[in-house]
Structure 1
């Protein structure tokens, strides 16, 4: 009877483990899909930005701006490219760090699972489970905070970019008005 009971418990544990693994795989796939989508969106946004800048350059050329006018724009573009490269490097570094951290955590988890299999007593398991839950909650909170911070920074940057764009547009309008006035005065 005891043997039968143990076999049933083992069977139940195996099924639960299998279920957990399937869920983890599902989560992993979902995360990868989300990541891919985000990457694609970013690429499209970058392409769009480049096209807009190219279009702006084309228009400037057609209008026939004065000599050296495109020089500052070229410098700005180089500065922007440099910034983007720095951002990309930073992101890659962070990604690598995150990957290493995840690997360490997985190894630790694996080690703990193996130790649990060896058997240490129900109280120890319970304690470990509680500790894991605490860590998970803490990690979840940290990730949420990071996400919130990233979103805020993104919004701030977007706002700043829009304001900068607005200022540039205003400056262009003023310059155009000035030239028009000068031309009119010269004609008179």
Structure 2
């Protein structure tokens, strides 16, 4: 059981790191961008704006930026879901810490007392919210930048995805696993507690 939390903790931590890197993408960290196009001599697009690769001039940092006519403005505003997802994932991590500490300390003592610790309803709820924020961030981002990519290409420019869409998939999958396992933990706990008790002694 302890291993299970630790696994959830690692997955959540990995998702948090990915979401933080996405959040501090262009114009903060120049290597992290969603889309690169040859428009205006080369432009990289991130969460808060875009930078031209040749001159290193960046747009004002804001949630929602316009790059007419290729990018859909309201979809750039939806990128705010990345910092939101990062914040929720941090809260999910924090909600796991007391569980990890209690588990670690009591690991060798009475198992049955400590079933109530995991997963806490707070952790399950936060894990689900983090997953949903990350999932919708991904959906809006793909809609925004695949449309953008098509429009750039139609206008005769090149366009290609950067590392962020892949990092976004990674964060979303990690959070999906955590949310599913914690949700299942809540549902199945009563039913399988006796079975897992028996398994735990035999393992």
Q: Smaller-chain TM-score range? A: 0.3 to 0.5
TM-score by length of structure 1 reads 0.35
- Normalised TM-score (structure 2): 0.34
Structure holding more strand per residue: 2
Higher Cα radius of gyration:
1
Question: Which structure is richer in relative contact order (CA contacts within 8 A, separation 6 or more)?
Answer: 2
